[in-house]
Homo-oligomer: A and B are copies of this chain.
Amino acid sequence: MRRHELDTPALILDLDVVEANIAAMAAFFRDRPQKLRPHFKTPKTPEIARRQMEAGAIGITAAKLGEAEVLARAGIGPVLIANQLVGRQKIDRLLALPEHVEIIVAVESLLNVEELEAGAKRTGRRPHVVIEVDTGMHRCGTANPEDTAALAERIAAGPLVYRGIMGYEGHTVLLPDPTDRREKATAALERLSAHVRALRAAGFSPEIVSAGGTGTYDIAGSQPDVTEVQAGSYVFMDGRYRSVRPDLGQPALTLLTTVIARHGDYAVIDAGMKALSNDMGPSAGARLPFTVARLSEEHGTVQTGEADLQPGMKVEVLPSHNDTTINLHSEYYVVRGDEVVDVWPVEGARAYR
């Protein structure tokens, strides 16, 4: 089957571009001390994670337990869960994962440590942890280096295995101006280094120092204290990262849609908010010049611009934000050129907790 014969809306993944993007990012990390642990929250399919591991990644980063479960069951790891797991049910699920895949989980409070310790006591297993540090995004994480060192000391005194720290400078990865982005990311990474120094001074030198995203992979990937980078979006790219990092890879993912109506200067496609996200602004035509100006639940209203869209045409959209768009779908239609060669499940979207 050819890509334009697919029923719509359908996620189309260009495997040639995916492979080129994986190879290019792997090449950047090949000869440096910093390594790549790509984020699973974008692709949500073991097919991608496996290819990233084969290209030299040291493991995979996950955003939540459900993603780590998918990876562990596929035998892919080590996995860093870059988030806190709170509550007995999640701790029990974590400790029920296959033991042959190493899982490291982020903690940021005494509660996290105590819950994991209680789980260790129940099961005899010793969860590996990194401490999450707030480097300026103001979401989760310890802000004070002394608090980080005190938490490390607390961890090391118990059954948990202390591995290091992580700090994601998410407030800088999408800054459009390269100089501004570099300055603010560097400032965030300097905050991370302050925690590293406090830990070293307290005798808890971190083996893992994880940071960085697709917008800052080269900044974090050149910082001496950083040991690994958790970029994820690079594998497919999307509209927002294309505008922020035009030097990076080509877009590998598009949404195939059908034009269902045309009235004057606008057309309507069969993809609304339930198939295409707009949290990063409007998406655009992937091959034809148009903008998806408005989304209702099942309709996208397209300013046709230079493109003469007519009902019945199938047109591809480059999502402005892949992560939240992929999360709306159940499968990828994988193509080489125009030929559909495979169908891959979007697995993490179902295991959403």
Which of A's residues lie within 8 Å of B, judged by CB? 7-10, 41, 63-64, 83-84, 86-87, 89-90, 93, 108-109, 111-112, 115, 134, 138-141, 143, 170, 258-261, 263, 266, 268, 270, 273-275, 277-279, 295-299, 301, 311-312, 314, 323-324, 327-330, 349-350, 352-353
Contact = CB atoms under 8 A, between A and B. Distances in A.
Contact of A298 (B83, B86, B111): B83
Given A112-B311, A274-B352, 9 more contacts: A63-B298, A83-B260, A83-B299, A86-B259, A87-B312, A134-B263, A138-B301, A139-B299, A328-B352
The 9 closest A-B pairs by CB, nearest first: A7-B89, A140-B261, A86-B260, A84-B260, A111-B311, A274-B327, A63-B298, A86-B258, A273-B324
Given A7-B87, A140-B268, A297-B324, A330 B312 contact: no
A346 to B, nearest CB: 11
Contact of A87 (B112, B170, B258, B324): B258
A274 to B, nearest CB: 5
Given A9-B353, A41-B298, A353-B8, A270 B328 contact: no
Contacts of A295: 279
